[in-house]
Amino acid sequence: MALLEMHNLSVTYASDKGPLKAVRQISLQVEKGEVLGLVGESGSGKSTLVGAMLTLLPPNAQASGQLLYHGQDLLALPESAKRRLRGNGIATVSQDPFTALNPVITIGKQLVAFQHHKPGSKADKLNHAVKMLERVGISDPQGRLKQYPHELSGGIRQRIAIAAALLTEPELLIADEPTTALDATTEMQVVEVLKASRQLVDGAIIFVTHDLHLVSALCDKVAVMYAGEIVEAGPIGEIFGSPAHPYTRALLACDPERIEVATRELPFIAGSVPMPSVHRVGCPFQPRCSLAFAPCGSETPPETLLGEKGRTVRCHKVNADA
Ligand code: ATP
Ligand code: MG
């Protein structure tokens, strides 16, 4: 059994303009030991998808399908069980560390509170916190314990947020654009911390990013999202080495040496992403795709398995050429 399994997972938001289907019929598995990169343009539904995994969707969101964690459907859990799971099994690091850290409580007290599920004295937990701060590369950890989040720089705050998430000993760590708010130098330092955190998570890590270079540096597997769908997913080497979906190909095309050259932002692709209104026929990328042919505008491409390593793609052209 995979650690996390999604089957036909969809999320629809109620809005003034009518229902918005932000995540559409996603099927994906995350295995223990895996680091998965979730990549896609702004608005492609990445945060909505991880919001579902974190059982943190807003009240105007309605999820359907299945989202199994250890075989248990998270969508069917009562609120109390969802709360228990957050911070005890599933942890998150977000773009803004202020969402994880309380502004009016010292770092030390907060890092002790993040260990509430574990036995041990307060002194033990403070000790543990100091060791974790050292592991995420923070100098003078003892001094940091007495400080408040606003006294720290963005990079230090984000490292502390990562330390806090790791102190909960998560089985699934979900980081949603954890370096987007940082300058380039600080970003690289935080990336190193995230790389090292692999050793500390006895399960899986999901990184949400629009930075292909970050995906190649950190992940084993990548899922490419486009307009609420996963258009292609599989092992990093296969997808970056020979992208099958025209959207993935377009993402990588601007980068002649592919992943060797840092692609800090998703490259510009002419045309625009379809609106997430509920009604849609055919492939979402069809209006921007130079390879589109008859079925692309009218039939949803089925998910096709490529090769032996669980790689999937949704593209009529790939199917026709196979
Ligand atoms: P970004 O890269 O900008 O973070 P994203 O891939 O994380 O984008 P989401 O934030 O999941 O995308 O948004 C997907 C779609 O859902 C967008 O069209 C967005 O406007 C819409 N959306 C997100 N949150 C809500 C909400 N609370 N209510 C209504 N619509 C929402
Ligand atoms: Mg987002």
Nearest residue (CA) to ligand 1, atom 20:
43
Ligand number nearest CA of 229 is 1
pLDDT digits (tens, 9 = 90+) for 222-249: 999 999 999 999 999 999 999 999 999 9
Centre of ligand 2 from the C-alpha of residue 46, in Å: 5
Mean pLDDT of 85-105: 86
Q: What percent of the chain has pLDDT over 70?
A: 95
- Adjacent-strand bridge partners of 172: 90, 204
Average pLDDT score over the chain: 90
- At a CB cut-off of 8 Å and minimum separation 6, what does 79 contact? none
Ligand showing the shortest atom-to-Cα distance for residue 23 = 1
Give the residue among 267, 271, 266, 268 at the shortest CA–CA distance from 292: 271
Amino acid at 240: F
Query: Residues lining ligand 1, CB < 6 A?
Result: 13, 15, 20, 22, 40, 42-48, 58, 60, 210, 276
Neighbours of 275 (CB within 10 A): 13
Q: Residue 98's pLDDT is what?
A: 77
- SS3 call for 138: coil
In 3-state terms, what secondary structure has residue 311?
strand
Name the residue at shortest CA distance from atom 18 of ligand 1. 43
| Closest to 186 (Cα-Cα) out of 164, 163, 158, 205 | 158
Lookup: tokens for 45: 């539904």
Q: In what order do the strands lie in the sheet with 61-69?
A: 20-30, 4-13, 61-69, 72-73
pLDDT computed for residue 114 by the predictor: 93
Number of the ligand closest to the Cα of 44: 1
Looking at residue 254, its pLDDT comes to 64
- Separation of alpha carbons 44 and 287, rounded Å: 16
Domains of the chain: 4-89+210-321 (3.40.50.300)
ipTM of the prediction: 0.99
Of residues 262 and 219, which shows the higher confidence score?
219
CA 132–ligand 2 middle distance (angstroms): 27
List b or e across 168-204, with b for residues whose CB sees 16 or more CB atoms inside 10 angstroms.
Answer: bbbbbbbbbbbbebbeeebbebbbebbeebeebbebb
pLDDT in tens, 266-311: 556 777 788 777 678 899 999 999 899 999 999 999 999 998 888 9
Name the residue with the closest Cα to ligand 1, atom 24.
48
Question: Which residue, among 73, 62, 64, has the nearest Cα to 4 in the 3D structure?
Answer: 73
